Chain A
Amino acid sequence: MIANPRLPLSLVLVLSLQACVSATVNEMTYNEPEAGIGDAALVILGRRHAPDYDTEFDFIDCVGKVIHSGDPSITVINERQFIDRLYPWFEPRIAPMQPSDIDRLRAQTPIHEQLNRFGIEYMIWIDGTTIETNSTGSMTCGVGPGGAGCFGFGTWGNEANYEATIWNLNEQAEVGKVSAETSGQSYMPAVIVPIPIIAPVQDTACESLGLQLLQYFSSEH
């Protein structure tokens, strides 16, 4: 029995409130595998050598999920597992910066064997981050004997900027770049209860980038 039939409806409305996001996607790719990548796997890695930001691990996971859910035949190797199995060669200090560096790593038998076990044909490097661009407003929250509540209004902007570089390891060549730029403004009005109206800036960037990469790798898209 539902005590208050309006409550679930209100909850759904609040949870479904999303602010707008604008997105720009650029793509420049070559030598697309027209029949897909078959049994080969790909790995998506984040660049983390910049002094003031790291490409987020959860963003890399998200892009991988978009690709795999779009075409389950594509095997996407988990980033952390890959980095740990090939430690320390993909640590930020010494990570390969160009496709030919992979061949130099392969000169060491244990690395060559590990790469073969993964069956990786493509390596995708994603560089970028999501930042907060501005925030304004104020909100006051209080707790008293009669209850608790907030009053005020806050707003903040987010910008996401990511670039994916695709390496074909068999050809030792860079075969494309895809970038996604998204931005949006989130709001949080509060009259007793704060109501977040979030702009899914990072999620949109993830989906945009993931779908472009999916089109490149999948024969079904």
Chain B
Amino acid sequence: MIFGPRPYGLRMIALVAVMALSGCSNKQVIVTGNFPTPTMTKVQTTLGVVYSPEFANHEFFDEAKGRNESSWLVQTGTAQVEFWNTFLPGMFERVVVIGSDEDWHTHHESLDAVLIPQVAELQYAIPLHTNVKVYEIWLRYQFRLVTPEAIHAHEAESLMFNPAEDIASFTLTAYGKTPSAFMQSDTDAVNYAAIVALRDAGANFITQFERIPAVATWLLALGEDTPGEAP
């Protein structure tokens, strides 16, 4: 069989282009990126970290409000786990991910505390919403630092914690933006803004962690110098 130029080739290209350019589609962003390890003097503690299923599978859905808008699904869960798994070992001397009751039984005696992150809120803005040529992602985290004894297995084998054994509970915000650029798709821009927001979460965590009174007291009790301070 011989393939050659066909008379309707241009029309097919035009049709595909029109379909691709038409709006009102659903947009899905599975946030992906590479994250650096922090460069700093490490906190000399052994920290457990529990990623709840809600956190590890975190996603945000915003339904289109008008005919000219798109529905957005932004899935940050995988990137969240990847980021914090890279970040925390750079900040603390030893980090153990507690994913099951078995993990907890193996490690709980060596742990100084367990950190449980949650994404409490995610907001996004695209130029269509704001008339500013910037894509933005805003995150609000809820962190709980609990004693290792606070963790226990739930019936469904998911890990739970006893709120009465909180060492500290604190919120942190993170913000990422990227200006619109030539030949950059909406989804690429939102993905990049989410990566910037995650990196910003790390920057905020490092500078705020030691300033939380309950954390400072806990570190003092452990005999640990507080981590580095930003300028």
Contact = CB atoms under 8 A, between A and B. Distances in A.
If over half of B's interface residues share one DSSP class (helix, strand or loop), that class is named, otherwise mixed; here it is: mixed
A116 to B, nearest CB: 12
A109 B200 CA distance: 23
A91 B200 contact: yes
Interface residues of A, number: 33
A188 to B, nearest CB: 14
Interface string A117-141: 0000000000001000000000000
B14 A87 contact: no
B231 A96 contact: yes
A71 B198 CA distance: 38
A72 interface: no
Given A109-B41, A143-B14, A148-B14, A88 B203 contact: yes
A1 to B, nearest CB: 21
Contacts of A52: 132, 134
A22 interface: no
Contacts of A108: 40-41, 228
Contacts, number: 69
Given A52-B132, A53-B179, A143-B11, A87 B39 contact: yes
B231 A94 contact: yes
Given A87-B38, A148-B10, A148-B14, A93 B228 contact: no
B204 interface: yes
If over half of A's interface residues share one DSSP class (helix, strand or loop), that class is named, otherwise mixed; here it is: loop
Interface in A95-114: 96-98, 101-102, 104-105, 107-111, 114
Contacts of A96: 231
A123 B71 CA distance: 43
Contacts of B26: none
A8 interface: no
A86 interface: yes
Given A85-B39, A87-B38, 20 more contacts: A52-B132, A56-B179, A85-B36, A86-B39, A87-B36, A87-B37, A87-B202, A88-B202, A88-B203, A93-B203, A94-B231, A97-B231, A101-B231, A105-B228, A107-B228, A108-B228, A129-B179, A143-B14, A147-B10, A148-B14
11 contacts: A52-B132, A87-B199, A87-B202, A91-B200, A93-B175, A94-B203, A104-B231, A145-B11, A147-B10, A148-B10, A148-B14
